[in-house]
């Protein structure tokens, strides 16, 4: 079995694993199962060939190299696909309500919470956004409030409320 075939087979099946797991975690079980069907076909075929040729260290090397490259490709695809939503918690460093107004003008739903820091009361902004809008959101934060504290949480799901869908390009 050719080294490049081994490498490219792993380059295909490892990202499929990444995408399958994301689909299942995000509640898209049927799509995840369909991806898993093709993933296991590729994996089993290549693995069987490798097991039968363990005396050739180059086969194992390209198998491992494909696995490593597949992990990188899988993570890049996961970012590109941008499924699901995230929650941003922001403690602004700019006067209130500057950041809140800018985010709302850009179609982000913002909930303002009252918080208490070490020295004074602070506003905490809670924003749930589609992952596809992350770059736009991050650009606004960096331009309007580069010194604000921001943390992101991955959401499994949500319902109701104001979360505009990302516009398709």
What is the b/e burial string over 56-77, where b = at least 16 CB atoms within 10 angstroms of the residue's CB?
eeebeebbeebeebbbebbeee
Structure confidence by residue, pLDDT tens digits, 112-137: 999 998 889 999 999 999 888 999 99
What does the domain layout of the chain look like in residue ranges?
Answer: 3-81, 85-154
Q: How far apart are the first and last CA of the chain?
A: 42
How far apart CA 10 and CA 44 sit, in angstroms, is 11
CATH of domain 85-154: 3.30.70.120
Structure confidence by residue, pLDDT tens digits, 46-75: 888 888 888 889 999 999 999 999 999 999
Q: Output the six-digit token pair for 119.
A: 């020295």
Put simply, whether the predicted model's pTM sits higher than 0.85 gets the answer: no
């Amino acid at each position: 079995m050719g080294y490049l075939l081994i490498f490219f087979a792993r380059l295909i099946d490892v990202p499929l694993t990444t995408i399958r797991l994301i689909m299942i975690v995000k509640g898209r079980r049927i799509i995840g199962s369909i991806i898993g069907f093709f993933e296991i076909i590729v994996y089993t075929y290549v693995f069987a060939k490798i097991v039968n040729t363990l005396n050739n260290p180059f086969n194992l090397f390209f198998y491992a190299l494909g696995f490593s490259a597949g992990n990188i490709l899988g993570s890049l695809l996961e970012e590109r696909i941008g499924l699901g939503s995230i929650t941003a918690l922001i403690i602004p460093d700019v006067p209130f309500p500057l950041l809140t107004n800018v985010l709302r003008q850009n179609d982000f739903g913002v909930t303002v919470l009252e918080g208490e820091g070490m020295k004074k009361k602070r506003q905490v902004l809670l924003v749930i956004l589609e992952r596809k809008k992350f770059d736009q959101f991050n650009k606004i934060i960096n331009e309007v409030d580069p010194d604000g504290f921001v943390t992101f949480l991955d959401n499994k799901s949500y319902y109701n409320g104001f979360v505009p869908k990302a516009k398709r390009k």
